[in-house]
Each structure stands twice: as C-alpha cells, then as structure tokens.
Structure 1
Amino acid sequence: MIPIRPIGAVTKGIALVLLACLIFSTQDTIGKQLMLTMTAFQVIWGRYVVQTAVMTGYLASTSGLRFLKTRHPFLQIARGLAQTVTTGLVYVSLPHVPIGDITALVFCSPILVTLLSVVFLKEKIGRHRIAAVIIGFVGVYLIILPGSGETNFYHILAFLSAFSNATYIMITRHLAGPEEAPATQFNTTAVGLLIFTVILLTTDTPPPLSSAPIFILIGVMAAIGHFSMVKGLSYAPASVLSPYLYSQVLFAALYSVFWFGDSLRLSMVVGTTLLILSGVYIWWRERIRSAESASRPSRA
C-alpha cells in the first residue's frame, strides 16, 4: 500500500515549488533587463559565477568533498552540457523574444521527453500520449507562428533549447538517488561556468565590476530557487508537484506584460494553453501507468 502523506506536507511542497518558479521567472526577467546594457554571455557568466560559488559553499559545508565524486562522470558532464546549451540558447534569445514566449517554448520539454524516449529508449506509448504530443506541437506552432511577422529566428533558438532541456531531464532521471545528488547539484552550473568562462575570455569581456551586486542577487536567487525546488520535492513526490511547475509560464507571461510591456498575442495564449494541457495530460497518463504497474501482482 502506498503511504498517504499528510495534507500539510503536500501544501508545503506545492508552495515551495511555486516559490521556486516565481524566483526562476524573476531571475530571467532581471537577466533580460541587464541585457539592455550587457551581452548575453556577460550576464550568463556573472550569474554562473555567483550561483556556483554559493552551491559549492553549501555542498562543502554539508557533505564535505562528496560533491566532487561521482560514479557517472560522463553522464554528469553530459547533463551539465545540456543545461549549458539550454541556458545559452535562452539568454541569447531573451533580448529578441518576449520572456513569456521563451518560457512557454522551453516548457514543451516534457512533450519532447516523451518523444525522445520513443526514439532513443524504444519506449512504447499509446494513442492517448501520441495525441498529447501532436497537440503539444500544435501549441508550439501557434507560439512561433512562422510567417506572421511577429516571430523571428530567435523563437526557433528558444524552441531548440527545449530539446537540450529535454536531454537534461532524461539524464537527470538516470542520475537520481542520494549517492549522486551532491555531484549532480554541483555540476549543474560548474560545467557551464567553465564553458562560459572560455567563451567570455575568447569572444567578449567580463562584465563591469559595478554590476557585481546585481549578479550576487541573481546568483543567490538561483540558489534559493534550486533549494526551494529540492525541499518542495522532499515534502511531496514529483508525481504530485509536476503540474505546478507550469506556474513559471504564468509568472513569465505576467512579467512580459507588466515589466516589458509586451502584448499577449491570441496565438501565443492559445498555443501556451495547448502546451500546458498536453504536458499535464502526459503527466496524468504516466501516473495512471505507474499506478497500474504497482497494482499488478509480482511473479515469483
């Protein structure tokens, strides 16, 4: 029998996930604002320096040097690379695309995870999830709406970031477990920091020292958001909290309208709605399949 968690714990988990999503949206919004006077790689590098420093300090104080040890170094590096590509594509696109559009496109990752699982892991999916994937891609089409005059090349880059983010999600599932947790948390930004440092030193210049306070704020926010997400998942399982992750799309849309003065296109609203509905439906079908598998009697 599956233990029933107290309502209080689930409520705390939902609240912490919502807080994390709000923080992530706020962080991206500040990053977009900074790119009015800085390059994308300067903003990314400044954020990664502080976030990696905060994460390293926390892990060193709580687990010693365990975060430097891993049984899956290639997977850890691949995961870090996937996150690096996602961040790079998103931040390069931010100055040119409304933040609500970008966030919605990145959040088609669960749909892509389903598709990539079929292609690379040879998983079988039924007609319900096939329909959800198709509806999700219709949503993507409505958000990008090629030829409308309101979209551009950077919408395509934002959509491509969803593929790298889907790869990141799939690798994260393989690295799940307490033994790999410290290394996984550390390499989330450490790999990217190394890569973006090389890019910055060869093609750009470091951000001005006067911007240090705002980067400290962004880095600390990122760390708090990450810890909130992890803590939320300790109160309630991911199978319960997953739908609430889409709140980040809502927060991003609100920032897009009220901070940057972007207009909400009808096609974007409809496309985002279809994306969220298809993602939640895929999550719901996964829960049903997991419950059915758990209820089947095991064979001796």
Structure 2
Amino acid sequence: MSAPNLSQQSNNVPLGVTLMIATTIVFALQDGISRHLASEYNTMMVVMIRYWFFAAFVIALAARARGGLRAAIRTSQPAIQITRGLLLATEICVAVFGFTLLGLIESHAVFACYPLLIAALSGPILGEKVGWRRWSAIAVGFVGVLIILQPGFGVFDPAAIIPLVSAIMFAVYGLLNRYAARRDTTATSFFYTGTVGAVLMTGIGIWFWQPMAGPDWLWMITLCITGVLGHWLLIRCYEAAEASAVQPFAYFQLVFASLLGLLVFGETLRDNVAIGTAIIVAAGLFTLWRERVKS
C-alpha cells in the first residue's frame, strides 16, 4: 500500500479558475457533438465508442509514464477510484439522453445547479467549511431550479428531472475527484476514469451497435478527443484549488452550451428558463465573492 500523496493538493485559485473555464469550453463542444450523434444513433453506443478511445489513451499515457501501468494502477483507495469511473460513465449516458429530449439550453439550465450541489456537499464530504451565507446562496439557487422546472404549473414534463439527476451525479463525481487526489496522482485517477468507464459501457453499449455514416465518424473522433481533454482538465482543476472556490466559474459551460443550442440547433430560450438560470448563476457568483472575502 502506497503512502498518501498529499503533494498533489494545493489551493492555487487563479490556476483552478483558468482550468475550470477551459474545462467548460471543452465540455460545451463535447455536449453539442453528443447531442448530434445521440439524435442519430443509440446513446449507449455513442458513449461506448467515446470510452474506447478514452481508455486507449489513458493506457498508452500510463505505459509511457515513469513506473508504467503498474504505477498508474497502484492505489490505496480502489473502491473510490472504481466508483468514480462507474459514476461518470452513468452520468454521461443520463446527460446525453437528456440532450436528445430537452435540448442543450434547458438541459444545461437545470444542470447548472451542480456547482451549488458541490458547494453544499464539500463540507460533509471533504471537510471544507461551508458557512450560513453559502448555504443561503445554495437555497436561492435551488429556487432558480424550481422556476425552470415549474412544478405545479400546467403539464410538468418528467424529462426535466433527467438533467437534475445528471447534476447530482456529476457533483458527487467532482467531489470524489478531490477526495481521490488526497492520496492518488492525476495519472492514477485518469487511468481509472477511462478504464472503468470503458468496461462498463462495453458491457452495455455493444448490444446497441448501429452502423455509422462516414461523416459522423469524424464527429465521433472529435467527441473522443474533447472527452479526453475535458476530463483531464477537470481532474487538474480539483487538484489545483478547493472545489468550493472554482465552482462558480463552471457556469461558463451554460453560456457556451446555450450559444450552441441557439446558433447550431435552433433551440429557443424560454422566459422562465432565463429567469431561473440568472438566479442560479447569481447564487453561484455570490459563493465566489464569499470565497474572496474569506481569502
């Protein structure tokens, strides 16, 4: 059993913010491509192919690094690493399915609450301090979610719950990244993210195989590349700074994904979605301001 690798931890907020913004750009592009492909092919197959590329990349990367595959596999917390991999793969399937039903704008409007979920859970899971002001911001943010979902008004669309489930799963995944980084290196976390997800998705997705047209293979390759880059940036982000400090900047993904929805997919922005999203983002920005005051 290896000793805890605490050298991976730091609290470099400017670096963490930069990495988070870069992550949101890559993830928004990835979501747009996923929406296109999952509209034409089975979601499980699309995610499976993406994970094949992801797994091949992390295995090749680990083999070339010092210590090789043995060093990448070595962990004192295998349950955490395997859980991370399974959770992310499942969350991706849920999120992409939501894109096909609701579109990018409304899916991301609800999904935008995940940074507030991370801020709320960073105390009990990671031991980071969460004061009453941040709890108030979290409560206000969830009022925004309710405005978007509009429960009790007209006919409630059950599909709107899908991005909320995705947000909860992704929040837990983000916190597990931070937790895992207390003992394991980025290389180890990255290895388990790719390989565990690939095993799960191959076991499921192979049953949903469909022939893919030539041009869509180009989109598939692009999706694979953005998938690798995005999750590498996210792991590095949580190593660089506390989760509660960088989360407000995750809202940039909502902006970039909404632009894609409007300009590429012809989606519309409803009034309640705009108002609810503004409330959620304002609550997140307040948590950033409190972080700066505390610092």
- Using structure 2 for the length normalisation, give the TM-score: 0.82
259-268 or 189-198: bigger deviation: 189-198
Q: Tell me, yes or no, if structure 1 residue 47 matches structure 2 residue 62.
A: no
Kept in 2, the 8 Å contact 1:43–1:207? The answer is: no
Query: Are the equivalent residues in 2 in contact too, given 1:51–1:223 (CA < 8 A)?
Result: yes
1:168 partnered with 2:185: no
Of residues 255-264 and 108-117 in structure 1, the stretch that sits farther from structure 2 once superposed is: 108-117
> Structure 1 residue 194 and structure 2 residue 190: aligned?
no
User: In the aligned structure 2, how far is the partner of 1:116 from the partner of 1:207?
Assistant: 42
Question: Could you say what the CA RMSD is over the residues aligned between the two structures, in angstroms?
Answer: 3.2
Find the partner of 1:28 among 31, 37, 40.
Answer: 31
Deviation at 1:100, TM superposition (A): 2.1
Whole-angstrom distance in 2 between the partners of 1:268 and 1:248: 16
Q: Structure 1 residue 70: deviation in Å?
A: 1.0
Is 1:257–2:262 an aligned residue pair?
A: yes
What do residues 225-274 of structure 1 show as CA deviations (whole Å, max 9, x unaligned)? 3445566778x745765433221110011011111111111111111111
Given that 1:98 and 1:262 are in contact with CA atoms closer than 8 Å, whether structure 2 keeps it comes out as: yes
5 Å-filtered alignment, 1:82-161, equals 82-116=87-121, 125-148=130-153, 152-161=157-166
Q: Check the 8 A contact 2:27/2:227 in 1, yes or no.
A: yes
Higher alpha-carbon Rg? 1
Alpha-carbon deviations, 1:39-58, whole Å to 9, x = none? 11111112111122223222
1:77 aligns with 2:82: yes
Give the length in aligned residue pairs. Answer: 282
**1:87-110, Cα deviation, whole Å (9 max, x unpaired):** 121011111112122223223122
Question: In the alignment, which residue of structure 1 is the partner of 2:287?
Answer: 282
Report SS of the residue matched to 2:62.
helix
CA contact (8 A) 1:139 1:272 kept: yes
Report the CA distance between 1:222 and its aligned residue. 2.0
Q: 2-side partners of 1:219 and 1:28: how far apart? A: 11
Contact 1:106 1:165 in 2 (8 A): no
State which of 210, 218, 222 in structure 1 corresponds to 2:223: 218
Tell whether the 8 Å contact from 2:126 to 2:179 is kept in structure 1 after alignment. no
Query: Matches of 1:34 and 1:57 in 2, distance apart?
Result: 26
Q: 1:247 to 1:46 in 2, by over 3 A?
A: same
User: Which has the higher mean CA deviation after the structures are superposed, 142-151 or 255-264?
Assistant: 142-151
Of stretches 147-156 and 43-52 in structure 1, the one that deviates more from structure 2 is 147-156
- Equivalents in 1 of 2:120, 2:23: separation in Å? 27
Matched residue, 1:272: 277
Post-superposition offset of 1:149: 5.8
* TM-score, normalised by the number of residues in structure 1: 0.80
| 1:185 aligned partner | 190
In the alignment, which residue of structure 1 is the partner of 2:7?
none
User: What is residue 40 of structure 2 aligned with on the other side?
Assistant: 37
Counterpart selection for 1:205 from 181, 206, 209: 209
Cα shift at 1:119: 6.7
Code of the aligned partner of 1:164:
M
Q: CA deviation at 1:25?
A: 0.6
> How far apart, CA to CA, are the structure 2 residues paired with 1:124 and 1:15?
23
CA distance in 2, matches of 1:14, 1:83: 22
Structure 1: runs of 5 or more not aligned: 292-300
Cα distance change, pair 257–227 in 1 and its aligned pair in 2 (3 A): same
In structure 1, what is the Cα distance between the partners aligned to 2:192 and 2:211?
Answer: 23
